[in-house]
Amino acid sequence: MVFFEKISKFLREVRSETKKINWPTKKETINYTLIVIFTFLITALILGGFDWLFNKFLNKFILRIP
């Protein structure tokens, strides 16, 4: 019985704590999502640009491929 009492107490505490969470609004969630997507795209463009430049540098000066 002790095991089931501990589980019951745990679930009651979880329920109590989830009521204290300050969930973001729909508008905040959309804004945060757009920020993440924008940051991802900028980072992808920067890394892609570095990759392209590095590839050109290697082909021209190191590997001597025209």
59 and 65 in contact (C-beta within 8 Å)?
yes
Give me the residue spans of the domains in the chain: 24-66
The closest alpha carbon to 38, from 26, 46, 23, 51, belongs to 46
Tens-digit pLDDT profile for residues 10-64 = 999 999 999 999 999 999 999 999 999 999 999 999 999 999 999 998 888 887 7
Q: Is the pLDDT of residue 66 over 80?
A: no
